[in-house]
Amino acid sequence: MTTSPERVVGDPFIGITMAERYRLDRLIGRGGMASVYRADDLLLHRPVAVKVFGAAAEGTDDRDRRASEIALLASLSHRALVRLYDAGHDPSTGREFLVMELVEGRDLREALRLGPLCSREAAAMLSDLAEALHAIHDRGIVHRDIKPANVLLEPANVPGRTWNAKLADFGIARLIDDARLTSTGLLVGTPGYVSPEQVTGAVPAPPADVYALGLLVLEARTQQAAFPGPAAESASARLVRDPVVPPELGDDWVALLRAMTAREPAERPTALEVVVAASALDVSERSDAAQTATTIAFAGAAETPTVAMTGAGTSVADDVATVRMPGEPRPDATGEGSTRVLTVPGSNSSEATPEPQPGPAHTPSRDTRRPRRTARIAVLALVAAVAATLLWILVAPLVAPPTAAPEPLPSVPGELGVHLEQLDEAVTP
């Protein structure tokens, strides 16, 4: 070990050079078992991450065994694994250390402080990490310490993806002498994420990693640790109960997470089976209550709202609620009024009824009904005229004024006059 003049007071490792090659520049993170520093590889002139373990990991001098384990771990190559470059023991400090790929970004623990992951991001992360576990399990390596701080989120360089998840710290127990760690009573793993068999002291196998990954993804979806609390309480809780998986996550998520966190190791899927299941997960953000969209239109002068069902399209824009407040003109408005429209995502287009809209856009539909309306008016007018005529015929005699009395016939002398009078009397009622 050499000491740099830039050594920072308060941290005994910042500024030193581990194994005369890796100069520790600044602290990146610290846990209960180790601290991680950003460092410079003075031989290859590249930035690296150096993980320096605490005093509990001192005393490993089997260089041949360590070299063999380093070769095995360094041979693993997967996009979701943080590459291991080197591992060693610094004689001056008595500390074990790992040299790893430096991932620019943040870890999952920091990301979850901002909120839970959406289903799309969680499914992508689950697929990445399950692939990484399959790669190390296939080589006979068990991670043993899957937790948010060991999941690094590297910014992605492809459209439609925010970041790529990388799993760090695999194979630590093998490098630091598994037998010695267990003999001193040190539990390898973080209490909030260890499997039930690890709590009972059994040697962890690949199903232990699947269990821990299930707890990690459950926390990523809910932003709540499944087994919070002090270490002893958290570790022992999983011996008596299973983690709570909210049904709001969806049936497929619930089924997969419950299978991954089964208390019996034999009942859990393999890492490869998790990869396959993750690709089939529902990554939509719609709840069961929002499967049908409702559009409510409030006319500016109307007192009663009209409700019409509208279909939600397949594009992202169709899933976004649209709110138009009173007084705000529509994009195609003519200035004759305003409408407030609220669209709730998820309706069934097969049951949709278009909402009538004012304006010239609906004029053609009224024109097509004009001949039928004109004929209907003509028929009604004819019926009204006939009814009026019949009514007049029936009522007119009852309301007609009385006929004036006929004027008397002129007096005619002689026999002719007598005959006229007799005729008049015969015809007069």
Per-residue pLDDT of the chain (429 residues; tens, 9 = 90+): 334 434 445 688 999 999 999 999 999 988 777 899 999 999 999 999 999 988 755 544 556 666 777 788 888 889 999 998 988 888 888 888 889 999 988 999 999 999 999 999 999 999 999 999 999 999 989 998 899 999 999 998 888 788 999 998 877 666 655 544 444 445 567 889 999 999 998 888 999 999 999 999 999 999 999 999 888 888 889 999 999 999 999 999 999 999 999 999 999 999 999 999 999 998 876 533 332 232 223 233 333 333 333 333 333 333 333 333 334 444 443 333 333 333 333 334 344 444 444 444 444 444 445 555 555 666 566 666 666 666 666 655 555 555 555 555 556 566 666 666 766 666 555
Q: Helix (H) and strand (E) counts for the chain?
A: 13, 13
Q: Residue type at 401?
A: P
What is the model's pLDDT at position 326?
A: 37
List, in sequence order, the alpha helices (H) in 57-177.
63-74, 108-112, 119-137, 172-175
**2-100 has CATH 1.10.260.40 classification:** no
Question: What separation, in Å, do the N-terminal and C-terminal C-alpha atoms of the chain show?
Answer: 152
Do 49 and 37 form a contact (C-beta atoms < 8 A)?
A: yes
List, in sequence order, the alpha helices (H) in 225-337.
231-237, 251-260, 271-279
Closest to 279 in 3D by CA, of 251, 256, 259: 256
Q: Tokens 């846990």 sit at which residue?
A: 31
Cα 48 vs. chain centroid, distance in angstroms?
35
| Identical fold, 2-100 and 106-279 | no
- Give me the residue spans of the domains in the chain: 2-100, 106-279, 288-355
Do 325 and 350 form a contact (C-beta atoms < 8 A)?
A: no
DSSP SS3 for 180: helix
H or E stretch including 390? helix 370-399
CA distances from 420 to 29, 47, 423 (A): 143, 148, 5
Do 339 and 297 form a contact (C-beta atoms < 8 A)?
A: yes
Pairwise CA distance, residues 211 & 261, whole Å: 5
Residues in the chain: 429
Pairwise CA distance, residues 415 & 246, whole Å: 128
What is the model's pLDDT at position 417?
A: 65
Pairwise CA distance, residues 74 & 91, whole Å: 23
Do 124 and 165 form a contact (C-beta atoms < 8 A)?
A: yes
Pairwise CA distance, residues 303 & 364, whole Å: 28
Count of beta carbons in the 10 Å neighbourhood of residue 256: 24
DSSP 150: G
DSSP SS3 for 274: helix
Pairwise CA distance, residues 406 & 63, whole Å: 152
The residue annotated as part of the active site, out of 90, 107, 145, 209, is 145
- The residues, ordered by sequence, that sit 6+ positions from 280 with a Cβ below 8 Å of its Cβ are 252
What radius of gyration do the chain's Cα atoms show?
45
DSSP SS3 for 167: strand
What is the model's pLDDT at position 132?
A: 96
Do 169 and 213 form a contact (C-beta atoms < 8 A)?
A: no
Residues paired with 26 in a beta bridge: 38
Whether this prediction's pTM lies above 0.85 is answered by no
Pairwise CA distance, residues 126 & 238, whole Å: 22
Q: Residue type at 8?
A: V
What is the model's pLDDT at position 401?
A: 53
- The residues, ordered by sequence, that sit 6+ positions from 90 with a Cβ below 8 Å of its Cβ are 1, 18, 19, 97
What is the model's pLDDT at position 402?
A: 53
CA distances from 164 to 4, 36, 75, 245 (A): 35, 21, 21, 25
- CATH class label, 106-279: mainly alpha
Closest to 346 in 3D by CA, of 306, 281, 288: 288
Pairwise CA distance, residues 209 & 194, whole Å: 8
Q: Tokens 């790893």 sit at which residue?
A: 100
Do 82 and 166 form a contact (C-beta atoms < 8 A)?
A: yes
Is 145 marked active-site? yes
